[in-house]
Chains A and B, each alone.
Chain A
Amino acid sequence: MITKADIKNYFILTLAVLMCSMLSVGAQSLQAPYAPTQEEMTQPYPFGGLKDSLLTALKASGWLNLRVQASADKLIIAFENRIYRFEARAIKALIKEVAPIIGTRYKTLALIVLNRNVPIMGLSLSLEAWNGFLHDAQAFPVFANSIHTTLNIQADWQLLKDQPITQTGALRTEAYVDPQLRMGLGGYPKPVLVQINLLPTANLYLWRGAQLKAQAIVPTFNQLPIPEDKSIRPGLIGINQYFRLPSATFMGLSAGYFTNYTYGLELELSKILFNGRFIWRNKMGYTGYASFPKRLGLEKPVPGWQVSSLANLDYRSSVEYRLAKYNLVAKIEAGRYLYHQNAVKVSVVRQFRETDIGFFGQKSSQGANYGFQLSIPILSKKYGKPQRFQFRTSKSLPYTYTATQYVVEDYQSGNDLYLFLKKLNPPFIQNQLRNSLDW
């Protein structure tokens, strides 16, 4: 029989259970919120959608071959610049663009600079120092000293290389017109003879490291007594591919119609040591003579191709040392050039930001020569955002003066790897970012 005591006990028991239940629910709601673990911090996507924000902003600005990754307290961005004429200025612009988006979420920003989607160099800086500099201009030295450049990018590149690319640089064409200036010494009454040509050029970026180049030579003003120079003729036409191999080694292969009436194949191998202060470069070419139109000495040239077989083997090896403090490059090169000329060349070139001025001397089997070379930047510092087909202005005007007629005949194959190894040389970029560019 259920008594009043049973009901009372039942009621107390029920109340106790309810109270315990309520207490346990309350306890759960007071637990600490979810925090990502160390492992989760190295997940492919930065916490909080930061990656999407960065990629959206960088894509809108026109940077190419974008990849973003995070690792512990470091954010890594790989990019390619085809917006700015000067690579150091491009890096500065990108830093100023991404730093506000990242804010204080990461301590270090690491950049990997690409060319044709091939990693060339890396850079790291302290975001804490950058934020300090933003609040206090006197803190610039701390920020500047936190900038470090390197060719040792394997660890960071491993995290990025398999990432999907945002805004690929492949299958894009850029067209521009390069000026070409040649001068020769004449007699009275014209002591200087001038030739000015325009070189309309199209570069088609193919897969990683590959580029197809097609160029024409359009004479606009010619006083030099070279009959075939009066006609429109093909310039450099060829395909070039370069690779980055382990241990800061780069290899380039070119095939096509080169400059100086040469066609064939060229192989280049460059080994970079001491973080860009020392470069050992080897080139070998298997070439033949080719000319359009057919050259007939001083007579008027005849339309058509004049081609000989691939019979010339040329090779040269060079060693260059960079005095980083002054961006001064001393180089010695020796080998066999066109027409079986053996020669030794010594040069010293200083990079004044975008202007290169240098002096050289050379001794060949024919005689000695010396002179100066310079390359000056021209026209626009910044181009438009890359399109599938884009026109841009030429980047520079090169000129070489030789004092005697004993010129060592050489050719250009369209392999611009050397140019990028110079423009993106780590000590050079570091000098520009720390000392030269105005932040």
Chain B
Amino acid sequence: MKRPIRFILIALCCLSFGRLVAQLSPEQPQRALYGNTGTILTPTGYLSPDGQLAFGVSYIPQGYTQINRREPLWRGDRVIYANLGLLPFLEITFRLTSPDGSKNNFGIGDRSLFLRGRITKEKKILPAIAIGLHDVVGVVGYHHVAYLVGSKSFALSPSTQLVLSAGYGTKIIKNVPNTYLQGFFGSASWRWKFVSLNAEYDAKKVNAALYIRVLKKIDFHLAYLDLKKWSGGVSMQLKLLK
């Protein structure tokens, strides 16, 4: 419990930077622990803004990774990612997953590419709909999935939003050993300015998280996976176009 308390204290300090924060919004969506725009582990229908490059690192504890290594010293996976809004309608995430604590030779780790494309932009009635293809090119394919997801935001007040997302995922490459997002998934985010409280069902379990954006560039993510184990991440974003 010490790590989460430390995180909350840091987050509270960051909250004091009142004017240096950027509002979370569909135009500035939050990022999932795997680097793509999403809630906690599930994606949403929003894409990274055009020309936005983000770097981040996350930690997924043992038991909730996509790879079950079955080693006594293995504690979890470190995920290092780079996420880019390559075009206004195309997002790319390059992800590197390496084990923490394992003494076996896994080389640099599992490398994979996530592609997400926009089908529709959110309008008054129409939700934002995106199609995704994860682990299209990778070493093993543990995160391979193809999915369709839609998101709709509801303004509760000028500074508060509720974002609901739902989608369906499935394998295209049949012989890969993945269980990620296989079936229906959905999430809900309650957003107030630069803070977001999230809950999701990722086709296997329920997760919850706190998300904070500070200094307009740095995101902190604290997640409670399966409501049993803590996880988290931090990322930083740059605008390449301006």
Q: Chain A interface (Cβ within 8 Å of chain B)?
A: 185-188, 191-192, 326, 328, 350, 352-353, 355, 357, 359, 370, 372, 403, 436, 438
Interface residues of B in 124-159 (CB under 8 A from A): 137
Q: Which of B84, B106, B108, B242 contacts A357 (CB 8 A)?
A: B84
The answer to whether A352 and B105 touch across the interface, beta carbons within 8 angstroms, is no
The answer to whether A191 and B94 touch across the interface, beta carbons within 8 angstroms, is no
Contacts of B98 in A (CB 8 A): 191
Contacts of A370 in B (CB 8 A): 137
Q: Which of B92, B107, B137, B242 contacts A191 (CB 8 A)?
A: B107
The answer to whether A352 and B51 touch across the interface, beta carbons within 8 angstroms, is yes
The answer to whether A328 and B242 touch across the interface, beta carbons within 8 angstroms, is no
Contacts of B203 in A (CB 8 A): none
The answer to whether A187 and B87 touch across the interface, beta carbons within 8 angstroms, is no
Interface presence of B1 (CB below 8 A): no
Taking chain B's interface residues, is the majority helix, strand, or loop, or is none over half, making it mixed?
loop
Interface presence of B197 (CB below 8 A): no
Interface presence of B16 (CB below 8 A): no
Interface presence of B13 (CB below 8 A): no
The answer to whether B105 and A355 touch across the interface, beta carbons within 8 angstroms, is no
Q: Which of A185, A188, A436 contacts B242 (CB 8 A)?
A: A436
In the complex, A436→B241 CA distance in Å?
7
The answer to whether B87 and A328 touch across the interface, beta carbons within 8 angstroms, is yes
In the complex, A192→B109 CA distance in Å?
10
Contacts of B106 in A (CB 8 A): 188, 191
Closest 7 CB pairs of A and B: A188-B105, A352-B240, A191-B108, A191-B107, A355-B240, A352-B51, A187-B105
The answer to whether A188 and B104 touch across the interface, beta carbons within 8 angstroms, is yes
Q: Chain B interface (Cβ within 8 Å of chain A)?
A: 51, 53, 84, 86-88, 92, 94, 98, 104-109, 111, 137, 240-242
Contacts of B108 in A (CB 8 A): 185, 191-192
In the complex, A334→B216 CA distance in Å?
44
In the complex, A326→B240 CA distance in Å?
13
In the complex, A375→B37 CA distance in Å?
24
B47 to chain A, nearest CB (A): 14
The chain B residue sitting closest to A328, CB to CB, is: B87
The answer to whether B105 and A372 touch across the interface, beta carbons within 8 angstroms, is no
Q: Report if A326-B87 is in contact (Cβ < 8 Å); known contacts: A352-B51, A352-B240, A372-B94.
A: yes
Contacts of A188 in B (CB 8 A): 104-107
In the complex, A352→B111 CA distance in Å?
25
The answer to whether B107 and A352 touch across the interface, beta carbons within 8 angstroms, is no
The answer to whether A352 and B241 touch across the interface, beta carbons within 8 angstroms, is yes
The chain A residue sitting closest to B242, CB to CB, is: A436
Contacts of A187 in B (CB 8 A): 105, 107
In the complex, A186→B106 CA distance in Å?
10
In the complex, A326→B86 CA distance in Å?
9
Q: Report if A350-B109 is in contact (Cβ < 8 Å); known contacts: A188-B104, A355-B240, A403-B137.
A: no
The chain B residue sitting closest to A350, CB to CB, is: B86
B142 to chain A, nearest CB (A): 17
A373 to chain B, nearest CB (A): 13
The answer to whether A353 and B241 touch across the interface, beta carbons within 8 angstroms, is yes
The answer to whether A353 and B240 touch across the interface, beta carbons within 8 angstroms, is yes
In the complex, A372→B92 CA distance in Å?
12
B46 to chain A, nearest CB (A): 19
Given contacts A186-B107, A352-B241, A438-B242, 18 further A-B contacts (CB under 8 A): A185-B107, A187-B105, A187-B107, A188-B104, A188-B105, A188-B106, A191-B98, A191-B108, A326-B88, A350-B86, A352-B51, A355-B240, A357-B86, A357-B240, A370-B137, A403-B111, A403-B137, A436-B241
